[in-house]
Structure 1
Amino acid sequence: MSSSKYRKLSHVVYKCDYHIVWTPKYRYRVLFGEVKNLVETDLRMLCEWKGVDIIEMNVQIDHVHLLCSIPPKLSVSDLLGILKGKLAIKLFKSYPNLKQKPYWGNHFWSRGYFVTTVGVDEEIIKRYVKHQENEDKKEESQTRNFDLFSPPSET
């Protein structure tokens, strides 16, 4: 979580920052409460294990934003394979009800993901990731969504 522009390994100095977004299968709205907490906690642990520096992270109800610095020895696709794979296994073990009908074949996450490199517009992306939840809540309050997997209403 350092703010230094460049990072170092034994034989390389690098700045490989990425904005990555991925979703649960069918974009189901299940990333809230204990599930959200598990995803946040385990993302931090897995990224630390792989030497990935999390700059910003925001787990939304139906997608995950990760702004991170990935060492050049690790590809983005390898990292996402590890993160999505390990998280799915842990989620299914911790919450067996997630294994039911919508997740045929024990796949929690959708197959793809979005990734972009972060350059001169890093501050804009940081603010976007950090404040995305507020924007989503504003948008949701303007439209009614009777989704089966919506979190309980706050009263």
Structure 2
Amino acid sequence: MNSPESLSHTKWECKYHIIWIPKYRKKSLYKELRQYLGSILKDLALQKECKIEEGHLMSDHVHILISITAKYSVSQVVGFIKGKSAISIARTFMGRRKNFTGQSFWARGYYVSTVGRDEVTVRNYIRHQEEEYKRIEQLDLF
């Protein structure tokens, strides 16, 4: 287990497993967008003094294990990351130059779970998510 982070009067170890999907669960996370999105998510997390410990982008959802500083709530960080990444995707891949309204790339909600002492289990789950997804898809074919 890692040592806790600290501010001047606070020590914390807040890690969360977070999952969210593109709008309508479209399988839109592919090739260039997938590579681009990985670096964008890490940069946005650093802007909020957070660190993405582990992450995996599937074609229709995002899994991350994130360490969030004690001065921000989970909803603040997730809202910031989803909002800014949607704007960045629109500018880079959809040809929009200005901020836009009425459209969004991500669906509204997200799933969050505290990690606690199960960090190793959650890390392995995220790392092997794609293999498990393919195995289940093959079972559904027969």
TM-score (norm 1): 0.81
3-state DSSP class of the match of 1:109? coil
Residue 119 (1) aligns with residue 116 (2): yes
* Aligned-pair identity (%): 40
**Equivalent residues in 2 for 1:69-148 (5 A)?**
69-96=67-94, 105-143=102-140
The equivalent position to 1:42 in structure 2, one of 40, 43, 48, is: 40
Question: For 1:36 and 1:143, how far apart are their aligned partners in 2?
Answer: 26
RMSD: 1.9
- CA distance in 2 between partners of 1:10 and 1:42 (Å): 29
Q: How far apart, in 2, do the equivalents of 1:5 and 1:60 lie?
A: 30
- What residue identity is the alignment partner of 1:116? S
Please point out which of 30, 33, 36 is paired with 1:32: 30
Deviation at 1:97, TM superposition (A): 7.4
CA distance in 1, matches of 2:139, 2:95: 31
Aligned counterpart in structure 2 of residue 16 of structure 1, from 14, 17, 41: 14
Counterpart of 2:108 in 1: which secondary structure? coil
User: What residue ranges of structure 2 are gaps of 5+ in the alignment?
Assistant: none
What SS class does the counterpart of residue 117 from structure 2 fall into? coil
Give the residue type in structure 2 aligned to 1:124.
Answer: T
Q: Please give the alpha-carbon distance, in whole angstroms, between the structure 1 residues aligned to 2:22 and 2:118.
A: 27
Bigger shift: 83-92 or 45-54? 45-54
SS in 2 for 1:5: coil
Cα distance in 2 between the residues matched to 1:61 and 1:120: 29
Q: How many residue pairs get matched?
A: 137
Structure 2 residue 60 is matched with structure 1 residue 62: yes
Shift of 1:73: 0.5
Alpha-carbon shift at residue 13 of structure 1 (Å): 0.8
One-letter identity of the residue aligned with 2:31:
G
Deviation at 1:63, TM superposition (A): 0.5
After superposing the two structures, state which structure 1 stretch, 84-93 or 4-13, moved more: 4-13
Query: CA-to-partner distance for each residue in 1:94-126, whole Å, 9 max, x for gaps?
Result: 11179xxxxx93111000000011112221111
